[in-house]
Amino acid sequence: MNKITTVIFDLGRVLMDIDFSAFSRALQLNHGGTSVFSEKKLELLAFNYETGKITTDEFFTSLDAFFNKRFSRGQLFNAWNAIVGGEKKDMTPIVARIQQQCRTAILSNTNETHFQYAASTIPLIQKIPLRFLSYEIGAVKPDPHVYLHVINALNSDPSALLFIDDIPENISAAHAAGMKGIIFQTPAQLLHELAAIL
């Protein structure tokens, strides 16, 4: 068995909390407790932003048009960033322990605005400078291209890479690329599974 040289973390629901319905709440939109991004047009807009097909300015201009200029750019920006929650504090000592043994990285489906906001407000993210972000890669997990990009960028045997994500499909895709993987549920469960791998 190859030794793990790099542990790669997903962001949302692994290192930090996220809440897509916070966008609707921040703008006082009544969506019955669901995210406004369940609407197909906005879902596609968010996807294009996360895959780098549109710029930040194009994204917010499109949001502005979708809401018929009902909100200011500042309101839309703040509501968008409201989706980003706080740091998962229980993960801080786990990441620190891993960093004593091997390098760490982030692999996330995200967009420029969310990542810049998260990186500036969440200390744990600042401690992991190696980052693979969908809007820079041009694809989102579980697209195989994402994992190939990471493997090539790290110049590593894929079996030496361990990916931690809360979505089973993303871990299945990592396995298909030859990487190791853990489906994240809780910090305690993660620690238990890490003990058998690292």
Q: What is the pLDDT of residues 34-82, one digit of tens each?
A: 567 668 889 999 999 999 999 999 999 999 999 999 999 999 999 999 9
Options 3.90.105.10, 3.40.50.1000, 3.40.50.300, 1.10.357.10; CATH for 6-17+87-195 is 3.40.50.1000
Label residue 32 by pLDDT band (50, 70, 90): low
Domain ranges of the chain: 6-17+87-195, 20-82
Angle at which helices 56-66 and 112-121 cross, to 10°: 110
Q: Are the C-beta atoms of 9 and 128 separated by less than 8 Å?
A: yes
pTM exceeding 0.85: yes
Q: pLDDT, tens digit, for every residue of 130-179?
A: 999 999 999 999 999 999 999 999 999 999 999 999 999 999 999 999 99
Q: What angle do CA 119, 125, 128 make, to 5 degrees?
A: 125
DSSP 106-139: EEE---HHHHHHHHHH-HHHHT---EEEHHHHT-
Residue 114 identity? H
* Residue 98 CB neighbour total at 10 angstroms: 20
